[in-house]
Amino acid sequence: MSSIIVDQLNYVYSPGTAYEKHALKDINLVINDGEYIGLIGHTGSGKSTLIQHLNGLIKATAGTIYYNGEDIYDKNYNMKGLRSKVGLVFQYPEHQLFETTVYKDVSFGPKNLGLEQLEIDLRTYEAVKMVGLGDDILDASPFELSGGQKRRVAIAGVLAMKPEVLILDEPTAGLDPKGRDEILEQIAKLHRDSKITIILVSHSMEDVAKYADRLIVMNKGGIVYNGMPHEVFVHYKELEKIGLAAPQVTYVMNELNNMGFSVNPSVTTVEEATEEVVRALSQTYTSRRKIKND
């Protein structure tokens, strides 16, 4: 089973200068094959720094990372291989589109891997399809596309590398609600169909609650919570103190619970909340009817 193990990771930016910043502090973490992880934390908590370690773009100041059991800082480790296995989609990735056609942009990575032309073409078509775009877009200039389309082209460029792990740094920032839902649905589908491990960095508590199996919460360079969404959002008061919040429905459930309704306060999605309220309300209906009849 493939996995990522982060062992006592520390990172310091610009050590020994006035700008020195201890951005990651003793991070320990296991990410298993096929998981969907939501990574949350206030601005500056270290999310982007951490994910750049996972594909080797930044080298730890101390500690190490094992990818599929191998120490990525070993002298003989194939770092270039790691970068294609762990795909990273940066924030506002559309700013990095630079080719004249979508085809050229998406095929850039596979080409760089030195693959055969047929394989490059296949991967390019497949990646574009995976992000929900049609073939007809391949000849378009990236600059003619809408914000949501550009974002998908950028994600396709990373998918064309056939990564085992896909990391996305706030992939929905600035998109309208429909564009946001479409991208998140595409990622969920990729996760289901291709069993890719997903790490989603997000500022939307609603989105990570809906899609992630497990949440990792960062604060000031460390990990403060690591668990399933309902386990993490129970701590909504503590989360607020560190710049975060819980999904709106979690607050509704807590209020109802405090008022004596028998609803589960750790619910995090609209679907679950609907079920809980329906159940609680039909219980009160039944019990009232019973009292009446008695």
Partner 1 sequence: MGMIKAHNLVFEYIRRDEEGNVESINRAIDNVNIDVTKGDFVAILGANGSGKSTMAKHINAILTPTEGTVWVNGMDTKNEEKLWEIRQTAGMVFQNPDNQIIATVVEEDVGFGAENLGVPTEEIWTRVEESLKAAGMLEYRHHSPNKLSGGQKQRVAIAGIMAMKPECIVLDEPTAMLDPIGRKEVLQTIKELNKKEKVTVLLITHYMEEVIHADKVIVMDQGKVVMQGTPREIFSKVDELKQYCLAVPQVTELAYELSKKGFAIPKGILTVKELVEAINSIA
Residue 140 in contact with partner 1, rule: CB under 8 A: no
Residue 224 in contact with partner 1, rule: CB under 8 A: no
Cα dihedral sign, 281-285-287-291: positive
Contact 161, 113 (CB under 8 A): yes
Order of strands across the sheet that contains 197-201: 86-89, 165-169, 197-201, 36-41, 214-219, 222-227
Q: Which of 6, 160, 163 is nearest to 81 (CA)?
A: 163
Q: For binding to ligand ADP (CB under 6 A), which residues are involved?
A: 13-14, 19, 21, 23, 41, 43-49
Contact letters for partner 1, residues 198-217 (x by CB under 8 A): -----x-xx-----------
Task: Write out the binding residues for partner 1, residues 228-257 only, by CB under 8 A.
Answer: 240, 243-245, 247-249, 251-252, 255-256
Contact letters for Mg ion, residues 29-48 (x by CB under 5 A): -------------------x
Residue 46 binds which entry of partner 1, Mg ion, ligand ADP, none, CB below 5-8 Å type-dependent: ligand ADP
Burial of 270 (0-12, 13-18, 19+ CB in 10 A): middle
Order of strands across the sheet that contains 70-71: 21-32, 3-13, 62-67, 70-71
Residue 15 binds which entry of ligand ADP, Mg ion, partner 1, none, CB below 5-8 Å type-dependent: none
* CA atoms of 280 and 294, how far apart (whole Å): 21
**Nearest distance from residue 143's CB to Mg ion, in Å?**
16
SS3 43: coil
* CA atoms of 116 and 14, how far apart (whole Å): 41
**Nearest distance from residue 27's CB to ligand ADP, in Å?**
12
| DSSP state letter for 75 | T
**Nearest distance from residue 224's CB to partner 1, in Å?**
14
SS3 147: helix
**Nearest distance from residue 243's CB to partner 1, in Å?**
4
Contact letters for partner 1, residues 8-47 (x by CB under 8 A): ---------------------------------xxxx---
**Nearest distance from residue 38's CB to Mg ion, in Å?**
14
Contact 89, 106 (CB under 8 A): no
Residues that bind partner 1 (CB under 8 A): 41-44, 146-148, 173-181, 203, 205-206, 240, 243-245, 247-249, 251-252, 255-256, 259, 261, 270, 273-274, 277-278, 280-281, 284
Residues that bind Mg ion (CB under 5 A): 48
